[in-house]
Structure 1
Amino acid sequence: MAVYEQIGKSYDLTRRADPEIAARLAVHLQVKSDFSYLDIGCGTGNYTLALAKHGGVWHGVDQSKQMIDAATNKSNAVLWQVAEAEALPYANGTFSGVLCTLAIHHFAALTPVFKEVYRVLAAGYFVLFTATPEQMSKYWLVEYFPEAIHKYAENMPSLEKVRYALNEAGFNSVSIEPYSISENLQDLFLYSGKYRPEIYLDENVRAGISTFALLASANEITTGCQRLAADINTGHITEIVNKYKNNQEDYLFLVAN
C-alpha cells in the first residue's frame, strides 16, 4: 500500500468514515468493549477511529508511514503501527475481530494476508468491505474514464478469488451483505458520486481516490471531465446514469469466520 504515500497528503480532505458503513462494520464485527480488534490497511485511520467509538481496544496497521503518521496525529486512542499485512507484528490469537475496508486490491496476493489474519484471530469475524470487478463494470464512470476503471477492475480480486483465499487461509464460512451507495455518503471513495456526478470534477475529490490519482492518465482525466461537465450541463448525465442502472449492488460486506 505504499502507493498511498503519493496521495496521503490530501487524503483526509475528502475521505472520512461514513456513519452508515461504520455502523454496519460494527454490527458484523459484533464489537464488545473488553476485546481487541485490528484494522489492516487502515490508511489514516478513519474507520478504525469510528469503530473504536463502538468499544474495544483497537490496533491499526498500514504499509504507508505517511498514512500511519496522519492517523497518529488524529488520535492516540488506537495503537497504530507501520507493518506489512503479510507479516503482522502480533502473537497468535491476539484479536477478537479483524477489519479491512477498501484495501484488498492493494495486496500482492490474498492468501498470505488472509493466513496472517487467521493466525492473529482468536475467534470472531474477519470483515471486509470491497467491490468486485463485476460490480465495477456496472459503474457509470466507465462511460467517462474507461481505461482507469478497467485498470482498477483488473486489480480488484473477484468474489470467487476472495472466497477461495479465505478458504485456503482456514475460514470455513463466508456471508455476504450487498451495499448500495446512498445519496448522502460521506466517504468520497470511487463510486461515492453515483448520484452526485459533479464531485468528480473536483480535483481534491479525485486526489483522494486511487483510481484517479494513480491509474488514470492526465489525458483521460481531462477528456473525461470535459465530457462529464458537458453532460451535467445539458442534463444528458441522467440518461447515462439510467443506462447503467442494475440490480447488482455497488459494494459488498464480506464476513468470514
Structure 2
Amino acid sequence: MNSSIYNKIGINYNETRKADSYLTEQFLKHLNPNKEGLYLDIGCGTGNYTNALQLKGFEFIGIDPSIEMLKKAHSINKNIKWDFAAAEKTNLAQQSIDGIIATLTMHHWVNLTRAFSELNYILKPHGKIVIFTSTPQQMEGYWLNHYFPKMLSDSMIQMPTLEVIENAMAHSRLIITKTETYNVKPDLEDQFLYCGKQNPELYFDDSIRHGISSFSALANGHEIENGLTKLRQDIDSGKINEIVKSYENNLGDYLYVIAEKTEV
C-alpha cells in the first residue's frame, strides 16, 4: 500500500469518514465477538470503526501503515492500542487474536496470499475474519462510471474479485463461510466512494471527495472537473434520474466476506 496517499488523506479524514452505525452493527453480527476476546481492526485508518466497536464493550486493537491516520486514531481513543503495521506483517503473536475486521482496505494490501497467511498465523482456531469490500463486478454497476470512467476503471483494477480473494484464502487455509451484499443507504454516515448513490449532490463537496482515495489519488483534475460539470447539468435537467436508472442492478454495492480459520 502507498501509505503516502493516506498520510495526505488522513489530515481531515474524520470529517467525512465516520463509523456508520448500521455497518458497525453488521460487523458485530458477522464477527459475533465476546467480551473476553481480543480483536483486530486491520487497516484501521483513523480508527472510527475500531473505536465504535470498542465502545460496544469489546476489546480491539488497530493497525495501519499510515502514521498520519494513526495519529488521528490515537487522538480519538488513547485506551486502544494503535500500531504501525501492515496486513502482511502485523507484528502480533501466533494465535493471539480472536477475530479480525477489515473495512475497505484489502485492495491496498500488497500481497493477498501473504496477508491471509499472516492473519491465519495470528488468529486463534475458529477465529473469524470479516471483510467489507467491493468487487470489480459490483463497481461496474456504479452510475459514477458515466461521469468518471477513467477513475472508476483504475479503481476496479486494484479491487480483487471474490474468486481471487477465495483462492488467496484457500492458500492460507482460510475458508469463506458466508458472503452478504450491502446496498448504500440514504443515511450513510461513512462517506466512501459510492456514498452519493442516492444523493449525487454529495460529490460536489470537496471534503467528501478528499476523503475518498479514488478521487484523491486515482482521478486526474481534468476528469473530475468535466465529470462534475456534466453531473451538475444532468442534476439540473433531471437527466440524472435516467442515468441512475440505467445502472440499476442486483449485485449489491459492497460485499461482506466472512471467513474462518478451521484448523486447530
Alpha-carbon deviation of 1:159? 0.7
Q: Is 1:126 matched up with 2:163?
A: no
* Equivalent of residue 136 in structure 1, options 139, 144, 151: 139
Task: Give 1:192's aligned amino acid.
Answer: C
User: How far does the alpha carbon of each residue in 1:113-153 deviate from its partner, in whole angstroms, 9 at most, with x for none?
Assistant: 11111111103201100000000011000000000000000
Letter in 1 for 2:137: E
- Runs of 4+ that moved beyond 4 A: none
SS in 1 for 2:151: helix
TM-score of the aligned structures, taking structure 1 as reference length = 0.98
* Equivalenced residues, count: 257
Q: 2:38 is matched with which residue? A: 36
CA distance in 2 between counterparts of 1:201 and 1:172 reads: 41
User: What is the aligned partner in structure 2 of residue 56 from structure 1?
Assistant: 58
Q: TM-score, normalised by structure 2?
A: 0.95
Alignment of 1:191-230 (within 5 A): 191-230=194-233
Q: Could you tell me how far 1:173 is from its partner in structure 2?
A: 3.5
Cα deviation, residue 85, structure 1: 1.6
Q: Please say if residues 176 and 257 of structure 2, whose CA atoms lie closer than 8 Å, have aligned partners that are also in contact.
A: no
Amino acid at match of 1:242: K
Once the two structures are superposed, residues 194-218 of structure 1 have per-residue CA deviations (whole angstroms, 9 ceiling, x without a partner) of 0000000111110000000000000
Preserved CA contact (<8 Å) 1:42 1:100: yes
Structure 1 residues 162-201: Cα deviation after superposition (integer angstroms, max 9, x where no partner): 0111111111343101111111111000001100000001
SS in 2 for 1:99: strand
- Between 125-134 and 84-93, report the one with greater CA deviation: 84-93
The match for 1:98 among 72, 97, 100 is 100
For 2:99 and 2:109, how far apart are their aligned partners in 1? 20
Q: Identify the residue that residue 9 of structure 2 maps to in structure 1.
A: 7
The answer for the alignment partner of 1:112 in structure 2 is: 114
Superposed, 1:177-196 pairs within 5 Å as: 177-196=180-199
Cross-structure match for 1:172: 175
In 2, distance between residues paired with 1:248 and 1:49? 30
SS of 2:9's partner is coil
Deviation at 1:56, TM superposition (A): 2.3
Letter aligned with residue 201 of structure 1: F
Report SS of the residue matched to 2:98: strand
Gaps of 5+ in 2: none
Structure 2 counterpart SS, 1:61: strand
The one-letter code matched in structure 2 to 1:64 is S
Amino acid of the residue matched to residue 180 of structure 1?
N
Take 2:27 and 2:140, find their aligned partners in 1: how far apart are those partners? 25
The Cα of 1:12 is off from its aligned counterpart by: 1.1
CA separation in 1, counterparts of 2:196 and 2:117? 34
SS at 1:200 equivalent: helix
Is the aligned partner of 1:232 residue 2:238? Answer: no
3-state SS of 1:16 partner: coil
**Greater shift after overlay, 25-34 or 148-157?**
25-34
Task: Name stretches of at least 5 consecutive residues in structure 1 with no aligned partner.
Answer: none
Alignment deviations for residues 73-104 of structure 1 (CA, whole Å, 9 cap, x no partner): 11123110111221111110111101101001
CA RMSD of aligned residues (A): 0.9
The equivalent residue for 1:74 is 76
Out of 242, 248, 252, the position equivalent to 2:251 is 248
